[in-house]
Amino acid sequence: MVLFNVFFQRSIVEGSKLIIFSIFIALVTFAFTTIPFISQILSGIAKDKQSNNDKSIIDIFVKAFSWHIVSVIVLLLLLSTIDIFLNNIEENFLKEKCLRGIFWNAMDKNTVMLNANATLGEYQSEGAYSLLHAVYTIFTLFYGMTPIFVFILSVFAGYKVSKNNKDNNSFDILFNLTLYVILGLFIYIAWITIANIAMYLPSGESLTTLKNDFWKDILLGG
Amino acid sequence: MKLFILLSAIGLTALFGADAGTATSGSDFAEFSSVVTDADATAKNAVGKFATWFIGLLPLIGLSVGIFGGMKYLRKHSNGQDENFAKELGYGGVGAVLGLIVAMLFISAIGSGLMGSSKEAFDVLNAFWRAIFEAEAGASVK
């Protein structure tokens, strides 16, 4: 354990490396909070299509949410455990320093450099910050555009179900579309609320405020 | 074997080559950062334009769909007979009001879903039509 700490202290504490390490930790939290849920939904839909049985959509979502909750709990335990091991560097090193202090402050270059103890204008630090900025931009685009994808997928699912049920009445089709859109958005809210727990955003912020700010920025100019 | 050589070459380059550069200035990354910023701004601009036009035109879409829906409903229930103009106007008017209400509900839902408050979406709608009318007024004054 001492060797582990020595290795971490020597290799990470340097500014540019700390920024890169923060990106890695953020990508890990992203993977844990996104991939299990989406993969379960996609595999559930694929299996449903293959076997062609009338498997309930609720079964797929119950399984996906179970995986999502388990992966979030595993991630929380993982980060807390590693934080205990890295306690001699700083208390809550991964959660407070890497995620809250560096990654989620990516738009504020000075704060990032200060928190990472990196030098402004230095080749390595600037390179690390460029990568951080790029990854953060992709993150905001992803969380901003997710409701639109959910809406489109829900409309598509609602339309397909209406078509399969041979509902020729336009009111039935509209009712199904509205129902599926509401269901899709509820699932989205549940997913993002659970995911938010393990993302360790700065206090007063959440993935929902990230998405709200994204849309306010592009529609109202900030 | 080829894959092994390729991976070894990449590994060795990453191990020794990456750190062998003599560059000492951080400005080398300014171009990369500006590419990221520009791509982000372009994506946001494209999405923003589409969303603004969508929200701005939604009341008109609701109005049109409502009028045509009302007329269609009347025609369906008239069994092929010609209805008088007042009745067509009444059904079209009710359809228009319903279409407009549904459009407003959609705008509220978009606002609270995307920006956390339905008021924000109505601000976008307001700004969209204000920009159009102000541009129109400016053009007519000239």
Give the highest mean pLDDT range of A135-144, A174-183, B18-27, B71-80. Answer: A135-144
- Among all residues of chain A, which has the CA nearest to that of B18? A124
Confidence at residue A177, expressed as pLDDT on a 0 to 100 scale: 86
Specify the pLDDT at position A143.
93
pLDDT at A5: 60
Q: What percent of chain A shows pLDDT beyond 90?
A: 49
Owning domain of residue A200: 2-220
State the pLDDT at residue A34: 94
pLDDT over threshold 80, residue A76? yes
Band of pLDDT at residue A2, cut at 50, 70 and 90 = low
DSSP codes, B88-133: HHHHHHHHHHHHHHHHHHHHHHHHHHHHS-HHHHHHHHHHHHHHHH
Give the pLDDT of residue A201: 92
CB pair distance less than 8 Å for B115 and A219: yes
Tell me the Ramachandran region of residue A193: left when phi exceeds 0, alpha when psi lies from -120 to 50, beta otherwise.
alpha
Nearest to A128 by CA among A152, A153, A102: A102
Percent of chain A with pLDDT over 70: 89
Rounded Cα gap, residues B128 and A221, in angstroms? 13
DSSP letter string over A147-175? HHHHHHHHHHHHHHHHHHTT---HHHHHH
Taking a contact as any Cβ pair under 8 Å apart, which residues of chain B between 77 and 136 contact chain A?
113-116, 120-121, 123-124, 127
> What is the per-residue pLDDT across A5-54, written as a single tens digit (0 to 9) for each?
655 655 556 788 899 999 999 999 999 999 999 999 888 878 776 665 55
Q: Is the dihedral of CA A130, A135, A138, A139 positive or negative?
A: negative
Residue B23 near chain A (CB below 8 Å): yes
Give the per-residue pLDDT at A89.
Answer: 80
pLDDT tens string B3-27: 556 656 655 554 454 444 445 566 6
| Backbone dihedral angles phi then psi of residue A122, each to the nearest 5 degrees | -75, 145
Confidence of residue B77 (pLDDT cuts 50, 70, 90): confident
Q: What is the mean pLDDT of chain A?
A: 86
Number of domains in chain A: 1
This prediction has a pTM of 0.80
Q: Is the predicted pLDDT of residue B100 greater than 50, yes or no?
A: yes
Per the prediction, chain B carries an average pLDDT of: 81
Identify which of B43, B42, B56, B41 has the alpha carbon closest to the alpha carbon of residue B110.
B56
Of B36, B44, B114, the CB nearest to A147: B114
Angstrom distances, CA of residue A105 to CA of A33, A125, B5, B139:
20, 15, 40, 44
Q: What is the reported pLDDT for B17?
A: 47
| Cβ–Cβ below 8 Å for A212 and B27 | no
Q: E strand or H helix at B30, and its extent?
A: helix B30-77
Chain B interface includes A209 (CB < 8 A): yes
Q: What is the pLDDT of residue A87?
A: 84
Which pLDDT score, from 0 to 100, does residue B36 have? 86
Q: Is the ipTM of this complex over 0.85?
A: no
* Contacting residues of B for A175, CB less than 8 Å apart: none
Confidence class for position B1, pLDDT limits 50, 70, 90: low
- DSSP for A4-69? HHHHHHHHHSSHHHHHHHHHHHHHHHHHHHHHHHHHHHHHHHHHHHHH-----HHHHHHHHHHHHH
Number of helices (H), then strands (E), in chain A:
7, 0
Find the residue in B nearest to A135 (Cα). Answer: B36
- Closest chain A residue to B41, measured at CA: A218
The confidence score (pLDDT) of residue B12 equals 57
**Cα angle for residues B52, B57, B60 (degrees, 5° grid):** 165
Contacts of A133 in chain B (CB under 8 A): 33, 36-37
Q: Which residue has the tokens 């000239």?
A: B142
Which residues are within 8 A (CB) of B123 and not within 5 positions of it... i.e. 6 or more apart? Answer: A220
User: Which one of A127, A218, A219 has the shortest CB-CB distance to B29?
Assistant: A127
A124-169 per-position pLDDT tens digit: 888 899 999 999 999 999 999 999 999 998 888 888 877 777 656 7
